[in-house]
Amino acid sequence: MTLLERVDGPARLRGFTTDELRELAGEIRGFLIDRVSRSGGHLGPNLGVVELTIALHTVFDSPHDRLLWDTGHQAYVHKILTGRRDGFDRLRRSGGLSGYPSRTESDHDLVENSHASTALSYADGLARADAHNGVTDRSVVAIIGDGAMTGGMAWEAVNNISGGPDRPLVIVLNDNGRSYAPTEGGLAEHFRELRAGADGRNVFEQFGLAYLGPVDGHDISALREALTRAKGEPGPVLVHVVTEKGKGFVHTETDDLDRGHAIKPMDPETGLPLASPSGPSFTSVFGREMVGIAQERPDVVAITAAMLEPTGLLPLYERLPERVIDVGIAEQHAVTMAAGLAMGGVHPVVAVYSTFVNRAFDQLLMDVALHRRAVTFVLDRSGVTGDDGPSHNGMWDMSVLQVVPGLRIAAPRDATRLRELLREAVAWKDGPTLVRFPKGAAGRDIPTEARFTGMDVLHRSGSLDVLIVSIGALAGVSLSVAEGIREQGIGVTVVDPRWVSPVNPGLADIARRHRTVISIEDNSRVGGIGSTIAQALRDARVPTPFREFGIPRRFLEHGNRAEVLSGCGLDVRDITLAAVEALAESDALTGPRPAPDPIDEGLYRLAHDARPNGGTDS
C-alpha cells in the first residue's frame, strides 16, 4: 500500500515522518498528473501547493480549524487529503467531484470559493464571530493565491483585519507570481522584492499585520515551522509562501504562459490534447477579429482582468502589446478605467468571463452607462459553461445587465455573426455595447434566409403558426425544434434578433401575425430576454400567446454543457413538445386564428438599418 492509499483523512498525516510526508508529496503529484490529464482541470495551481497543503493539514485540525481556499481551484490536494481521492475518477463530471470546494462534498469545505479575492473577508467574519461567541480553541486560516491578492476586495479585508482589535487569524499568501499569466503592476513588483529578501518594512507590516517569510513553499519542514509560529500568534499574521506553479511536471514547468493553469484532457507523456479540435471556438474567433479591428482602428484598446489568454486576447497582445491592458483580478477597476479611456477619446473593449462581470455591475451602470461612454464589453463563457460548476455558468448576464439604460446587448449565433456584431459594437458611439457568447466551438455558420427590420429570418415553412425567437448560440436548438414542429404539419418561423436588448420593435409586427410565440435562450428565465420580449409585446398590445424557455432560477451543478442544458429543459424534444402544447392551449382558449398566407413576402421584406436594433429603444 502506498502512503497516499493510507491517507483517509488529514489526521493520518500526523503519524507520518517528515521523510514520509516528502514521499507523499511525490505520490500526490503523480496522482494529480494522472487524473487531471484524463479529466481536464486546474493542474498547474495544484501541483504548486502540494507541500503547502500537506503542511497545513499537519499543523491545523480541519474541519475544527477553518481552512478557506482563495481561489478554490487550488484545493485539489486539500480534497485528496480529506478523503476524496476516489472521486477524482469523475472530476468535474456530472455526479463527480466539483473542481472547487463544495459544501455538499465534505465538512472540510466551508465555502464554495471560486470567485477570487473573497477568502480574507470570509475569514475576518469567522474570526469576529468566534470572538463574539467566546470561542478560543480554533484557528481561521485563509489561503490566498494565483493573483487573488490583486483584487481590491482582498485589500478591503486586510484594512479591516488589521484595523480592529487583535483576533487570531492566519493569512497564507501563496505567492507564485502568477494568476493565469505572470502578475504585473506595483504589487507584483513589491512581492518580487519580498521574495528577493529586500530590506525595509513591507506593505503587510505597514498595515499592521505580523509577517513571516518568505518561506520556501516546497520545503515541508520550513512550512510547518512557519505555520506553527503563525498559529500561536494572538493577532492576525501573514505567512508569505513562495511556490512554483506547475511544479513537478515537465509540460507545466516549461509552459511560460500559464504553467498549465487549466488544461483540457491530454496525454501526460506528450502534453498533447486527447481530443482533436472541433473547429474554432467563439473565443478564438473573437481574438482574431480583435487583431483586425485594432490594426484598422488606432483608438481601440483591449482590457482584461487576469484573463489574457482565456478571453482570446493573446494574439492581440503578441501583435500589439501596448494595446492590451491586464489589470489583474480587478474587474471594478477595469470597467471604470475603461470609462476614463472612453472619456479621453479611446474605445475600450473589456473582455471578461460572463460570471465575473457581475462584480463590476455598479461601475458599468454608474461610471460607463450614466456617462453614455462608448465602451464595448465582450463576455466569454456566457450561458452554461458546464464542468466549471455553479459559480462559472454565465446565466445571469442578460438578466442583470438589461436593466442598464442605454446598454445594447448582442448575442451572436455563430462565428460570422460574432465578427459582424463585434464590429457593429465597436462602431457604436452613443453608449455602451455588449457582445456575449458561450464557451466552446462556434460550430457551423447558420445562414440567413431573409432579413426583417434588422433581424435574421433563419427558417420559415407553412403557415404562420409558431414563431421561435432564437437567442444567440441556441440557434441550432431552435432550428431543430422548428423541424420537429414542421413534421407535425404546423407552420413555423425562426428569427434571430442579433441585437437582443433593447427589444427590436419589429418583433411586435411579426409576432402579431403568428398564432403563438416562444423564445429560447441560455440565460435565466427570470429577467431574461424572453421576459423582456413578453413585456414589449404586451406594451405593443400584441395578443399572441407567448412562452419563454431558459434556465430556471437555481444554481446548476457541474456536468457537460449538453447535460446541464437538458437538465434545464433546454433540449429539442422538451421544447418541441411544449411549443406544440402551447399552440393547442392557445387555440383551445381563443379558437384557431385565421393564418396569414403561407408565403407573405411583405412580412419578410428585406430591410436593414445599420444601427443596432434599428436605432429604437422601445
- Range list of H helices, 450-492: 475-486
Annotated active-site residue in 359, 408, 417, 525: 359
pTM of full prediction above 0.85: yes
Q: Are residues 528 and 500 in the same domain?
A: yes
Q: Are residues 149 and 124 in the same domain?
A: yes
Using CA atoms in the order 399, 405, 407, 413, what is the torsion angle rounded to 10 degrees?
A: 40
Per-residue pLDDT, 607: 37
Determine, yes or no, domain membership for 121: yes
Determine, yes or no, domain membership for 275: no
Q: What is the pLDDT of residues 136-149, one digit of tens each?
A: 999 999 999 888 89
Supply angle C-alpha 391, 103, 153, rounded to 5. Answer: 50
* C-alpha cell at position 29: 503529484
148 assigned to a ligand binding site: yes
Per-residue pLDDT, 596: 52
Picking from 405, 436, 467, the residue at the C-terminal end of a domain is: 436
Question: Residue 386 belongs to what domain range?
Answer: 282-436
Q: Are residues 143 and 102 in the same domain?
A: yes
Q: Are residues 75 and 136 in the same domain?
A: yes
Picking from 233, 253, 273, the residue at the C-terminal end of a domain is: 253
8 Å CB contact between 179 and 306: yes
Q: Of the candidates 407, 403, 399, which has an alpha carbon nearest to the alpha carbon of residue 373? A: 407
Q: Are residues 346 and 247 in the same domain?
A: no
Please confirm, yes or no, whether 439 is among the known catalytic residues: no
| CATH (domain of 428) | 3.40.50.970
Q: Are residues 469 and 431 in the same domain?
A: no
Mean per-residue pLDDT over the chain, rounded: 90
Q: Are residues 199 and 333 in the same domain?
A: no
Determine, yes or no, domain membership for 524: yes
Supply angle C-alpha 506, 508, 510, rounded to 5. Answer: 75
* 398 φ/ψ angles, rounded to the nearest 5 degrees: -75, -35
Q: What is the pLDDT of residues 92-134, one digit of tens each?
A: 888 889 888 989 899 999 988 778 899 999 999 999 999 999 9
The fraction of the chain above a pLDDT of 90, given in percent, is: 67
Is pLDDT of 197 > 60? Answer: yes
Whether the link from the prior residue into 71 is cis, omega within 30° of 0, is: yes
* Alpha-carbon span 92 to 558, nearest angstrom: 6
Is pLDDT of 503 > 60? Answer: yes
Per-residue pLDDT, 613: 44
The fraction of the chain above a pLDDT of 70, given in percent, is: 94
* C-alpha cell at position 27: 505520490
Length of the chain: 618
**Residues paired with residue 548 on neighbouring β-strands, in sequence order:** 519
Nearest-Å Rg of the Cα atoms of the chain is 27
Is pLDDT of 534 > 70? Answer: yes
249 assigned to a ligand binding site: yes
Chain centroid to CA 415: 20
Q: Of the candidates 308, 381, 390, which has an alpha carbon nearest to the alpha carbon of residue 556? A: 390
Q: Are residues 129 and 17 in the same domain?
A: yes
Q: What is the pLDDT of residues 288-347, one digit of tens each?
A: 999 999 999 999 999 999 899 999 999 999 999 999 999 999 999 999 999 999 999 999
Determine, yes or no, domain membership for 272: no
Q: Are residues 60 and 111 in the same domain?
A: yes
* 477 φ/ψ angles, rounded to the nearest 5 degrees: -60, -45
Annotated active-site residue in 245, 323, 460, 498: 245
Determine, yes or no, domain membership for 17: yes
147 assigned to a ligand binding site: yes
| CATH (domain of 462) | 3.40.50.920
Q: Of the candidates 493, 494, 452, which has an alpha carbon nearest to the alpha carbon of residue 474? A: 494
Annotated active-site residue in 331, 424, 548, 563: 331
Determine, yes or no, domain membership for 262: no
191 assigned to a ligand binding site: no
Is pLDDT of 582 > 80? Answer: yes
Q: Are residues 299 and 363 in the same domain?
A: yes
* Alpha-carbon span 290 to 467, nearest angstrom: 34
* C-alpha cell at position 106: 465534505
Determine, yes or no, domain membership for 441: no
Q: Are residues 247 and 309 in the same domain?
A: no
Picking from 402, 436, 470, the residue at the C-terminal end of a domain is: 436
8 Å CB contact between 99 and 388: yes
- Going by their DSSP bridges, the two strands 492-496 and 466-470 should be labelled as parallel
450 assigned to a ligand binding site: no
Q: Which residue has the higher pLDDT, 288 or 553?
A: 288
* Alpha-carbon span 444 to 476, nearest angstrom: 9
Determine, yes or no, domain membership for 267: no
Q: What is the pLDDT of residues 401-435, one digit of tens each?
A: 999 999 999 999 999 999 999 999 999 999 999 99
Q: Could you give the number of structural domains in the chain?
A: 3
Q: Is 511 helix (H, G, I), strand (E, B) or coil?
A: helix
Q: Are residues 103 and 129 in the same domain?
A: yes
Per-residue pLDDT, 594: 55
* Element housing 510 (H / E): helix 506-512
116 assigned to a ligand binding site: yes
